[in-house]
Chains A and B, each alone.
Chain A
Amino acid sequence: MKSSNRLMALSSAAVLTVYAAGYFRTKPAAARFAHEAANRRPAATMPDFVAPVQAAASDERAAAPADPAPVADRSEPAEPTVAPARSGPAAREHRSADPTSAASLDSPAPASAPPSTIGFALDPVPAAPEQKAADQKAADAPAAAASPTPVVQAASAQAAPAPAAAPAAAAAVAYKDGTYLGWGWCRHGQIQAAVVIEAGRISSASIAQCLTRYSCSWIAALPPQVARRQSAEVDYVSGATDSTNAFFYAVVDALAKAK
């Protein structure tokens, strides 16, 4: 076999070459950006995590998937006095493209499909249900302030280095005690997560309802991570990324109610 660096060098060169060559866009970029900006739902503001307020556990959305409420304008994020430990995942902006009628690089398009594209529809057509769900998901997840600052919790295994802009007082995140339910969506369906808060901390998380096309066992390892990390951040599961995202957003949704 030949030189070991050959493929790595070739892939790097290929990326540079293709990038430099660019391509001719079929629509003016400016027009498309304007269209996308007009359609994008503004993200929610960062919740202001402060000392726990006495309140009952909220199970009001137990039975049915939540109808995401319109969210605040992204231009006025609430500056958190105490940065929550999971400010990162809350800030995660999830953008997806799921042209259910489009062809892919790997599988044949249905006979009746329109010309193949991957990505957001460029023309003003109504978004597919999954796309809307993704938009709503992104809107529901509380957005971070300009510089999110993860807080180091003594018990947390994720000791994130605090950036220079972090608040000096790295106080523990305090959630309101109780059990909170949240919904997350992916193109395979919905997942409801149940998060239990005890003594102001996440004591457990579980999948309350699995309404996805594929079994939730693929992500069975994730719920315990929520308590271990005191965070919704479970990263990815290669091969089950859609369910992972749905679970993540379900936990975010639940934690948002626990503030």
Chain B
Amino acid sequence: MGTFVSIDLVRDDPAADQAVERAFEWFREVERRCTRFDPSSELMQIGTIPCGTAVAVSPMVFQAIQFALTVAEESEGAFDPTIGRTMEARGFDREHRTGQPIRSTIEPDPNVSYQDVQIDAERQTVTLRRPLVLDLGAVAKGLAIDMAARELAEVGDFAIDAGGDLFLGGRNAAGQAWTVGIRHPRAEGVIESVQVSNQAVCTSGDYERLSGDGAGHHILDPRRRTTAWEAASVTVIASSAMLADALATAAFVLGPTIGIPWLERQQVEGVMFTSDLRRYATEGLAA
């Protein structure tokens, strides 16, 4: 969360400079096109076209939307890019504010879901059935990380950190897989560590701060419009940050009983801690 993006190279390598610059440039480009908070971004421009009309979008925006919608289908709505933070920001689970336009966006229909978005892969278009705001936050950030990782593939040993979502390439300075600590969801410190190489590590937690003001936020279950209460944190390790980020969010909502087997079926590794600090993990991370 947040905008701080850092790229660590294990070796000082002047030849890698251009690759690092291109990596940062991808973050800029993804932000430009996919941010919800700039009315002129490509994403927000979609909302200016009347519902029911197919809107042609760039490959980047199309791929991000397509991926988000597919995760929504695979999770049967536990992950839903049409709900998410828009609801949280407006306290939707408590009160439905009306008549208050924010940055000229349309007040989303309370019944909107991912099924109100249709895409056409052949024409590369997106069609909104109802007024809604697509929240590509996690997917877009993951995509940017994956693009950056691709730029650095030749560099080999590197670490990308985009506000806590990580991609660890190759090996660390000691020639070993990177060690990543997972923040304890209820106490200070690290609850456990994982060893990764050429993998993304993304954590969804209910302790995450918003804008550094110390206030936690709740991850909502888009299907029930209530707070997802079972999990305190979920960490997913996958080959792609886009995948890890979205799956961590979905698994968080799904809870341990359904979420962990679901992650197994998605062929990623994950570990979940519930509020009472019980640990649930996929087989690869079994205790």
Contacts and interface: CB of A to CB of B under 8 A. Distances in A.
Interface in B196-217: 201, 203, 205, 208, 210-212
Contacts of A92: 8-10, 173
The interface centre, meaning the residue of A93, A218, A238 with most chain B CB atoms within 10 A of its CB, is A238
A161 B239 contact: no
B173 A220 contact: no
Contacts of A29: 21
B73 interface: yes
B172 A233 contact: yes
A109 interface: yes
Contacts of B176: 158, 160
B14 interface: yes
Main secondary structure, interface of B, reads: mixed
Contact of A236 (B163, B180, B211): B180
B146 interface: yes
Interface stretch (A31-39, A171-179, A195-203): A31-39
Nearest to B33: A23
A8 B239 contact: yes
B11 interface: yes
A241 B32 CA distance: 25
Nearest to B202: A238
Nearest to A160: B175
A14 B201 CA distance: 19
A142 to B, nearest CB: 9
Contacts of A108: 37, 89
A236 B181 contact: yes
B164 A238 contact: yes
B141 A105 contact: yes
A158 B36 CA distance: 44
Interface in A11-57: 11-15, 17-19, 21, 23, 25, 29, 32-33, 36-37, 43
B242 interface: yes
Interface string A202-226: 0000000000010101111100000
Interface residues of A, number: 85
B46 interface: no
A74 B11 CA distance: 12
Contacts of B147: 15, 18-19
A213 B8 CA distance: 23
A11 B240 contact: yes
Interface residues of B, number: 96
A105 B25 contact: no
Contacts of B229: none
B230 interface: no
Nearest to A20: B59
B188 to A, nearest CB: 3
A109 B143 contact: no
B174 A97 contact: no
A219 B182 CA distance: 11
A160 B67 CA distance: 39
A237 B183 contact: yes
Contacts of B4: 96-98, 187, 242
A239 B267 CA distance: 24
B215 to A, nearest CB: 12
A7 B8 contact: no
Contacts of A63: none
23 contacts: A4-B267, A8-B267, A8-B268, A10-B66, A11-B146, A11-B239, A14-B64, A15-B150, A18-B60, A95-B8, A95-B20, A103-B31, A106-B138, A108-B89, A115-B38, A119-B25, A229-B174, A236-B159, A236-B179, A237-B183, A238-B181, A238-B182, A244-B181
Given A15-B147, A239-B205, 13 more contacts: A1-B74, A4-B265, A7-B266, A8-B238, A12-B239, A19-B147, A104-B31, A104-B37, A118-B31, A150-B173, A219-B189, A235-B179, A238-B166
**A-B complex: 8 closest residue pairs judged by Cβ atoms:** A88-B173, A239-B183, A217-B188, A160-B175, A237-B181, A14-B63, A235-B179, A21-B59
